[in-house]
Amino acid sequence: MARMNSQSRSSQTRQALLDAARQLLIEQGYARLAETRVCDRAGVSRGALRYHFPEGLLDLLPALLDELIDIEGGKIDPAGLFNPRERMYLALYGLAHAQGQTDSLAVLELWMAARGDERLAERLNPIMDSADRRIFGFAPDAPFEPDLLAWRLMLHGASLHVFSLDYDRAKLTAALQWVLKQWPMPESLQQKLAARRAEATASASSESTPNTADAG
């Protein structure tokens, strides 16, 4: 039991460090990220950070990027049932309805940081290269169809807009909602979502119906 508690605390400490780095990237950007800031935000010692990430941020940031890409993919569909076109639509829809800053901002900060740091790029780029497959379900080396590439550029541009001097979340939301009106939800996605809603309704109805056999 003591060993299990120790492992649980160790896992919690590691996650606290990842969460702190994520929050700092979103709030202050990569330029102000430092080990001491991460430790202070996580409420742990520098030694704890080095225990979990021996090379400091060089080890922590790839782990964070890997986690963020998993989270972004999970927001679209944890079961991975949607095809790339449907997943791209859902990603744009999610960005249009997001409240406040999103994890995509932290991903962008890491992406730009890798451009100016060769050692960091060696760690981050292979993970970044896997993003289209893990988030949108694209097969490796598969070419983007023109409309999908356009929507991908739209997603990147909308995410990068937070760095603009005239950034306004309400205006960005309105613009994205306008875009969604020009790109109707794929019919196949409508059918899948309708089927899921029907399954959920049937399941809830079944759980609320008394078992007449037991009632006798």
The closest of 32, 24, 35, 15 to 105, measured between CA atoms, is: 24
**Domain annotation covers residue 41:** no
Question: Which helix (H) or strand (E) covers residue 86, if one does?
Answer: helix 84-96
Instruction: Give the chain's length.
Output: 216
Percentage of the chain beyond pLDDT 70 is: 89
Rg of the chain's alpha carbons, rounded to an integer? 21
Is residue 99 within 8 A of residue 117, CB to CB? The reply is no
133 Cβ contact partners less than 8 Å away, ≥ 6 residues apart: 139, 140
Q: Give the residue numbers spanning the domain of 117.
A: 65-199
The closest of 95, 80, 100 to 192, measured between CA atoms, is: 80
pLDDT tier at 202 (50, 70, 90 boundaries)?
confident
**Domain annotation covers residue 11:** no
Per the rule left: phi > 0, alpha: psi between -120 and 50, beta: everything else, 41 is: alpha
> For the purposes of burial, counting CB atoms within 10 Å of the CB of 25, is it exposed (0-12), middle (13-18) or buried (19 or more)?
buried
Query: What is the pLDDT at residue 49?
Result: 96
Query: What is the pLDDT at residue 74?
Result: 83
**Domain annotation covers residue 129:** yes
6 Cβ contact partners less than 8 Å away, ≥ 6 residues apart: none
Least confident window among 111-115, 163-167, 180-184, 207-211: 207-211
Q: How many helices (H) and strands (E) does the chain have?
A: 12, 0
Q: Which residue has the higher pLDDT, 207 or 181?
A: 181
Query: What is the pLDDT at residue 40?
Result: 97
**Domain annotation covers residue 194:** yes
Q: Does residue 70 carry a pLDDT above 50?
A: yes
What pTM value is reported for the model? 0.80
**Domain annotation covers residue 37:** no
**Domain annotation covers residue 97:** yes
**Domain annotation covers residue 56:** no
Average pLDDT over residues 50-61: 96
Number of domains the chain contains: 1
The Cα-based distances of 195 to 18, 173, 202, 208 in angstroms read: 37, 28, 11, 20
Backbone angles phi, psi at 168, to 5 degrees: -145, 115
**Domain annotation covers residue 210:** no
